[in-house]
Structure 1
Amino acid sequence: MSKRKQTKQTKAKDINKRILKIAVMPMSDDGCSHYRINKPYKEMERLGLAQVEFFKSSDLETDRFMDYLNKCDLVVCRAYHSKAILDVIDTYFDIKVLVDIDDDLFDIDPYNESYSAHGTKEVKHGNKWLWKHLVNINIMENKAYLNSVKKLLKRADIISVSTERLKEKMLEYNKNVIINFNAIDFKDWIYRDIKKSDEIRIGWTGGASHYKDWLTVQDDIIKIMKEYPQVKLVIGGIMFEGVFKKIPKERIEYYDWVRPEAHGFRTALMNLDIAIIPLEYSQFNSNKSCIKFYEFSSLKVPTICSNVPPYSDEVPVELLFKDLYSKIKPFIENKKVRDTIGDIQYNWVMKNRDLKKVTEELYNNIKSLV
């Protein structure tokens, strides 16, 4: 038996007797990393399941990082860190790697701001360039980057994804794909029974990639605002001025971005009566998770969603809409309906998407493959 093979077998037996040592690199503070990496792996350490060290980009050439690589069992990174992790793999070729990916990076919609980093074709909107090579996009660099992502996905020992649909997609690159559901840390998402006024506050939170999603309900929103003068639209994140230009400004309340750790608190203080999640059907959107539904549910906010994947995969059928105007009317007109649905959603997310439970499942899946 070769020395290298014997060492691997000895290490495998050793892992079974102790908790895992995990290196997370590099640690980021964007919203996706917050849900996909920071929260679950900090929870894993809090539960005593693993010893986890987090490293920032500036740490990757330090002695502390190199020393920990020599003794850790697993390196965890997100797919967009492909270049950094591939450099590590070239040096530490025996190291086991988990790559997390929560979007299909190879199928980005041109109206998504992420197309600037992932798009591989020039795109026109009407007669105007939406994306033009070497003007606002570098197609050659993007192709090279996506090739490095594919190389990393194929090299990884484990890929973790957020949904069953995305798992099927990632099986094209690797046989070891596990699901790590986005989960709610109920210390951050605390239901607050804030005194209500006569307003009916209909809200949403999200980023610039959702412009086309809002276009699917623009006419319904205008119709609702005209019919129900007590309705106020409450927006968190990005404000699409063009979509809302026919709505009086005094009937729209806007909340700017906050750090991921404060997102739950800020969303609770938006004091919503109803949440809506419009989504255009596309293959890219179908591979997303239902995180917005989980968030609003944790605050007992009754939430209606477009009847397309991923929401049609998990959300009860009575909360799905093809016609927003017809679906939302009973929620606006009947507080009892809102309260009943809010409680049902809260109980579901507590049972199925609690951070502790999801993290324990993630750890067990990792341990079985490492």
Structure 2
Amino acid sequence: MKIFYWVADYSGCGYYRCLLPGAELANRGHDVMADGSTVPKEVHSGECDVVVGQRVCNEAASITWQKFARAGHTKLVFETDDLLTEVDPSNRIAHAFYNSEMVRRYRENLAVADVVTVTTPRLAEHAREINPTAAIHVLPNQIPAWLLEHERPASPDPDLVTIGWRGGLSHQRDFGELAKSLRAFLLHPRNRGVAEFHAMGAPYHERVASNHGRVRWTGWHEAVGDFLRAVDFDLAVIPLRPSIFNESKSDLALVEMSALGIPSIVSVWPGSPYTAHSAAGPVGCFAGDWAEQLRYLVDNPEAREQLGKEAREWAAGRTVEGNAWRWEQAYGDEG
């Protein structure tokens, strides 16, 4: 197949939903192109088998997308990995960006797609409501296989147990699910000189910083692979606030940490992307009470090691190399 990825960004979403599967499809012999701005001439002339549009909703891009739909020469695959009609107002930048006009174009462009690819069953339901005639495929996020062999770098102070979090500014309210308990944990006299908190991405360390609790921060890396290579957590915390938007989130944060052999404490509630994993098997340490779980994992290096080993074994089934056939099947679907 000749495939063009019309990417919306080159950060995590673009990497996991377009660039990573696209690279593996190219390894399998497909002709793959990707760009975030310019659409190649052969796409306009209908010489491309598949155009994958990542959450197409900008005005100019929408005009071109609708033109492609009317021409009918190329299979249009609409790719979306978030419930963009339900962005939480606390995520101010995204909420302002996905205004009523953006959402209208998003829905119109999804509605004319031949195929829709999403990350979760809840997103599939959303897509089916908008476009009941399209072939809809749930393609869970996958990780590169090299993560399973990667040895995490040592933290600056190997005598401390590093509690880690990775995430952007959009997770203000999610982090609020954890912040109070984590700050109290770090401040407790028995944990001083024993544990630290390392925030990667947005500077959430500021919300738990104190005169006695140990915290540090690493900003985003330019490439996703560089960020993953820099993760030095002994255990990860993945808070997620109950919301309609979060019910459609993928389990990517857990898969990343698991592939690195890092046990995770996660938010479990009806609809959480992590709830099914807590029932399916020991792929991490699942949250009931943050303080209790933190105390157990910080105090038990053997448990951390065993849970990390089991998590890595589970993540071995979530590589893009082992699951690229799902993208091939989706793009080849005739409906």
TM exceeding 0.5: yes
Q: 1:90 aligns with which of 67, 82, 105?
A: 67
The equivalent position to 2:106 in structure 1, one of 135, 149, 152, is 149
Question: Could you tell me which of 313, 324, 335 is aligned with 2:276?
Answer: 313
Inter-CA distance 365–219: structure 2 relative to 1 (3 Å threshold): same
Name the count of aligned residue pairs: 318
Q: Does 1:253 align with 2:216?
A: yes
- The one-letter code matched in structure 2 to 1:358 is N
Name the structure 1 match of 2:145: 186
What letter corresponds to residue 116 of structure 1 in structure 2? A
Which residue of the partner structure matches residue 166 of structure 1?
A: 123
Say whether 1:51 aligns with 2:10. Answer: no
Whether 1:278 aligns to 2:239 is yes
* Structure 2 CA distance for aligned equivalents of residues 320 and 172 of structure 1: 33
Tell me if structure 1 keeps the 8 A contact 2:57–2:103. no
2:261 corresponds to: 300
Shift of 1:76: 0.5
| Residue of 217, 220, 227 corresponding to 1:263 | 227
**Rg larger in 1 or in 2?**
1
- 2-side partners of 1:81 and 1:145: how far apart? 6
Of 289-298 and 72-81, deviating more is 72-81
Partner of 1:342: 308
How far apart, CA to CA, are the structure 2 residues paired with 1:334 and 1:320? 15
Distance 2:251 2:80 in 1: 15
CA distance in 2, matches of 1:88, 1:365: 19
Matched, 1:72 2:37: no
The alpha-carbon deviation at position 219 of structure 1 amounts to 2.1
1: CA distance between counterparts of 2:179 and 2:100? 35
In the alignment, residue 291 of structure 1 is paired with which amino acid?
A: L
What is the letter of the counterpart of residue 342 of structure 1? G
Q: Does residue 1:219 correspond to 2:180, yes or no? A: yes
2:118 partner letter: V
Distance 1:47 1:315, change over 3 A: farther
What letter corresponds to residue 230 of structure 2 in structure 1? R
Q: CA deviation at 1:81?
A: 4.5
What is the DSSP-based 3-state SS (H/G/I as helix, E as strand, rest coil) of the residue aligned with 1:23? strand
Provide the residue aligned with 2:329 in structure 1.
Answer: 364
For the residues of structure 2 that align with 1:88 and 1:347, how far apart are their CA atoms? 41
The 5-angstrom pairing of residues 20-35 of structure 1 reads 20-26=1-7, 28-35=9-16
Q: Per-residue deviation at 1:199?
A: 0.8
- Tell me the TM-score normalized by structure 1: 0.80
* TM-score, length basis structure 2: 0.88
CA contact (8 A) 2:183 2:209 kept: no
Deviation at 1:188, TM superposition (A): 5.3
1:304 Cα deviation from its structure 2 partner? 1.1
Letter in 2 for 1:87: T
- Give the SS at the match of 2:130: coil
Q: Deviations over 1:308-329 (max 9, x none)?
A: 3011123457622131011222
Distance 1:201 1:333 in 2: 12
Root-mean-square deviation (CA), in Å? 2.1
Q: Quick one: structure 1 residues 155 and 198, their matched pair in 2 at CA, closer, same or farther if it must change by over 3 Å?
A: same
Question: Quick one: which of 1, 8, 20 aligns to 1:39?
Answer: 20
Q: How does 1:107-126 map to 2 (within 5 A)?
A: 107-112=86-91, 113-118=93-98
- Partners of 1:56 and 1:109 in 2: how far apart? 26
Asked whether the 8 Å contact 1:188–1:262 carries over to 2, the reply is no
- Cα pair 2:257 2:264 within 8 Å, conserved: yes
Q: Report if the CA contact (8 A) 1:222-1:247 is conserved.
A: no
Say if 1:189 and 1:265, in contact at 8 Å, map to a contact too: no
Q: CA deviation at 1:194?
A: 4.9
- Point out where structure 1 has 5 or more consecutive residues left out of the alignment: 1-19, 119-141
Assess, with a 3 A threshold, how the Cα gap between structure 1 residues 85 and 47 changes in structure 2: closer, same or farther.
farther
Change in Cα spacing, 1:90 to 1:365, as seen in structure 2 (3 Å) is closer
Q: Structure 2: which 5+ residue stretches go unaligned?
A: none
Structure 2 Cα separation of the partners of residues 161 and 85 of structure 1:
19
**Is the contact made by 1:239 and 1:254 (CA closer than 8 Å) also made in structure 2?**
yes
Which residue in the other structure is 1:238 paired with? Answer: 202
The SS at the match of 1:235 is strand
Counterpart Cα distance in 2 of 1:65 and 1:145: 24
Residues 195 and 245 (structure 1), Cα distance of their counterparts in 2 relative to 1, 3 Å cut = closer
Q: Are 2:82 and 1:106 equivalent residues in the alignment? A: no
